[in-house]
């Protein structure tokens, strides 16, 4: 933590404020000296809200003292120690232990993301801390990297800033109907105003682990509306760097709080990773998990249609064309004239407008009629929010493989900057990066980046038994045979352009040591009597760029005359 300012006030005749070391939405933190005991402490000065009437101010102060006293009873090596709670000039002050060291947010900003071992160590400490708090009936409600301190020299992890904590069953520190917390780390049930419980802190821990591993929250967007939509409705995409801890991350980021991974379970899974180097599946599950979808996929489902059709892997060549991966033979495709594409996120637009003009809470906007159309406000990870209003265009929803709603043949196809729209002789068109070259291989068509770092593939065939999901589940069941080092594969149901679809995502070791670990996204769907499969394979370190190529390809995909 940096130091700035000076004050030298003496609070309660005992605590001398020396330098400001932090500031948040609810107060200022000072480095101070306890003149009675001769030790350094941290003093948090809770700022007044001048907009509140006097009666509300008194009630707020009373609640602050009541809940701070509850937090002060917590005793745990990874929870900040509260030494004293005092009042001066009708303003509360919390006196806490002084942890010499910056926050996890400071560390990430300075040194970049941490590795999986360090993330697991931090996760174990925080899960143990929140278990103690929850058992005492205290909810933190604002777990994020800025509220986690890393002590210099010892590396001790300390959960701090219980400033908006809530004692279970008590009124919250802020007024009813207002929103507290950091949206990128706030659970969807809290965001939508449905409920708040210990499970909400666990969601925040899942988002924090993603941030520690990748450098940013998976729910970070350019606007508050975009963040709220990402938390409540959009597909949840844990970063590729989270793969070693994926069962824990997915379990904590389950949108259904009743099915969310528990603190004790998550802590034990992370301890197992630290001891063995592998993270077990959540208790009561096996096989891939459907993070954020409120269900998990067991092993029996992956093979229920096995044998009905020949499985294949998008990363492997057709057997009749036995190259280890497609050759970079270029045949530049023709370009299509650009057409206007309408993009946007309806929920984000509604939220931003409402937040700017109406002054209502985020929780209210996402509950009841806050979805802008009277349908389902949240949807699921693979289904968009529904709308029964006549003013809601499906095209205004977020472009993703799981929320596209217009028929393929009538969608707009403007290629973004840096892309061209390719009309392929195989009977489809899509946008690909300008420097990708076409390489046909049997039933597949590849568009390859220079050096084949990125491989975008498309396959068009007749429908197969079990539909898109059956196709991908059979391929996933053979993943170990077709993809060296195959791991963390999962197939989840989806929709694309209004048609049933399935999404397969997995990691693998690449075809050679030189190529290195890779990650693959694959979406399969049926349309007008044909089965379409689009996938992107890329090095793990470039998975975000690959996801962009994948999303753009799907958003602009169209069937054309062969």
State the Cα–Cα distance between residues 64 and 73, nearest whole angstrom: 14
What is the chain's alpha carbon radius of gyration, rounded to the nearest angstrom?
26
Q: What is the dihedral of CA 114, 116, 118, 123, to 10 degrees?
A: 110
Backbone angles phi, psi at 517, to 5 degrees: -60, 140
The residue from 56, 115, 142, 509 that is catalytic is 142
Residues 6+ apart with CB under 8 A from 58: none
State the Cα–Cα distance between residues 187 and 206, nearest whole angstrom: 10
Contact predicate 123/88, CB 8 Å: no
State the Cα–Cα distance between residues 169 and 173, nearest whole angstrom: 12
Question: What is the residue whose two structure tokens read 């149901």?
Answer: 493
β-strand 419-424 against 428-433: which pairing, if any? antiparallel
Contact predicate 96/202, CB 8 Å: no
Instruction: Give exposure, 458-488, as e/b (b: 16+ Cβ within 10 Å).
Output: bbbeeebebbbbbbbbbbbbbbeebbeebbb
111: left (phi over 0), alpha (psi -120 to 50) or beta: alpha
State the Cα–Cα distance between residues 504 and 315, nearest whole angstrom: 12
User: What does the block give as tokens for 339?
Assistant: 């057409």
Q: What is the DSSP letter of 50?
A: T
User: What does the block give as tokens for 418?
Assistant: 């840096």
State the Cα–Cα distance between residues 388 and 375, nearest whole angstrom: 6
What DSSP assignment string belongs to 187-248? Answer: -HHHHTTS---HHHHHHHHHHHHHHHHHSS-TT--SSHHHHHHHHHTSPP---GGGGGGHHH
Beta bridge partners of 521: 505, 536
3-class secondary-structure state, position 358: coil
- Angstrom distances, CA of residue 497 to CA of 15, 20, 289, 355: 63, 54, 25, 31
State the Cα–Cα distance between residues 311 and 232, nearest whole angstrom: 35
Of the candidates 375, 395, 381, the residue with the CA atom closest to the CA atom of residue 501: 381
State the Cα–Cα distance between residues 67 and 171, nearest whole angstrom: 10
State the Cα–Cα distance between residues 554 and 552, nearest whole angstrom: 5
> Is 49 annotated as catalytic?
no
Q: What residues act catalytically?
A: 142
């Amino acid at each position: 933590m940096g130091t700035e300012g000076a004050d030298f006030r003496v609070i309660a005749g005992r605590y001398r404020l020396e330098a400001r070391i932090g500031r948040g939405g609810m107060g200022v933190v000072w480095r101070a000296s306890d003149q009675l005991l001769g030790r350094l402490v941290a003093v948090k000065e809770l700022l007044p809200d001048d907009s509140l009437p006097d009666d509300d101010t008194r009630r707020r102060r009373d609640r602050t003292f009541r809940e701070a006293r509850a937090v002060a009873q917590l005793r745990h090596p990874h929870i900040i120690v509260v030494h004293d709670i005092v009042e001066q000039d009708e303003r509360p002050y919390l006196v806490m232990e002084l942890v010499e060291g910056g926050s996890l947010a400071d560390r990430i900003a300075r040194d970049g993301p941490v590795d999986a071992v360090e993330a697991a160590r931090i996760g174990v400490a925080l899960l143990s801390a929140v278990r103690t708090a929850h058992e005492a009936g205290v909810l933190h409600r604002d777990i994020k990297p800025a509220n986690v301190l890393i002590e210099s020299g010892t590396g001790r992890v300390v959960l701090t800033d219980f400033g908006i904590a809530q004692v279970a069953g008590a009124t919250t520190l802020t007024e009813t109907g207002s929103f507290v917390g950091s949206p990128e780390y706030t659970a969807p049930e809290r965001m939508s105003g449905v409920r708040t419980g210990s499970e909400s802190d666990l969601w925040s821990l899942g988002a924090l682990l993603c941030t520690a591993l990748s450098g940013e929250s998976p729910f970070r967007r350019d606007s508050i509306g975009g963040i709220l939509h990402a938390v409540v409705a959009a597909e949840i995409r844990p970063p590729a760097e989270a793969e070693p801890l994926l069962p824990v991350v997915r379990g904590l980021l389950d949108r259904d709080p009743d099915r969310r991974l528990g603190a004790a379970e998550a802590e034990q899974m992370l301890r197992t990773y630290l001891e063995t180097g592998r993270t077990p599946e959540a208790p009561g599950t096996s096989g891939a998990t459907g993070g954020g979808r409120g269900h998990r996929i067991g092993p029996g489902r992956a093979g229920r249609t096995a044998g009905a059709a020949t499985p294949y892997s998008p990363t492997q060549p057709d057997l009749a064309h036995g190259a280890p991966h497609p050759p970079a033979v270029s045949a530049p495709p023709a370009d299509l004239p650009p057409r206007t594409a309408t993009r946007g996120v309806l929920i984000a637009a509604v939220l931003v407008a409402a937040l700017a003009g109406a002054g209502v809470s985020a929780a209210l906007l996402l509950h009841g009629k806050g979805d802008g159309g009277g349908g389902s406000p949240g949807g699921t990870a693979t289904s968009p929010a529904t709308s029964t209003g006549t003013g809601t265009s499906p095209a205004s929803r977020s472009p993703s493989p799981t929320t596209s709603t217009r028929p393929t043949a009538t969608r707009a196809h403007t290629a973004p900057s840096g892309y061209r729209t390719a009309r392929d002789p195989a009977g489809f068109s899509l946008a690909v990066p300008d420097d990708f070259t076409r390489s046909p291989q049997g039933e597949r068509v590849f568009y390859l980046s220079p050096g084949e770092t990125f491989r975008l593939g498309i396959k068009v065939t007749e429908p197969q038994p079990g539909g898109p999901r059956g196709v991908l589940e059979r391929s996933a069941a053979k993943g170990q045979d077709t993809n060296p080092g195959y791991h963390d594969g999962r197939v989840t149901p989806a929709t694309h352009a209004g048609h049933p679809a399935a999404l397969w995502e997995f990691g693998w070791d690449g075809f050679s040591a030189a190529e290195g670990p890779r990650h693959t996204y694959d979406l399969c769907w049926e349309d007008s009597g044909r089965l379409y499969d689009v996938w992107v394979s890329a090095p793990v370190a470039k998975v975000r760029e690959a996801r962009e190529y994948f999303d753009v390809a799907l958003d602009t995909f169209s069937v054309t005359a062969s």
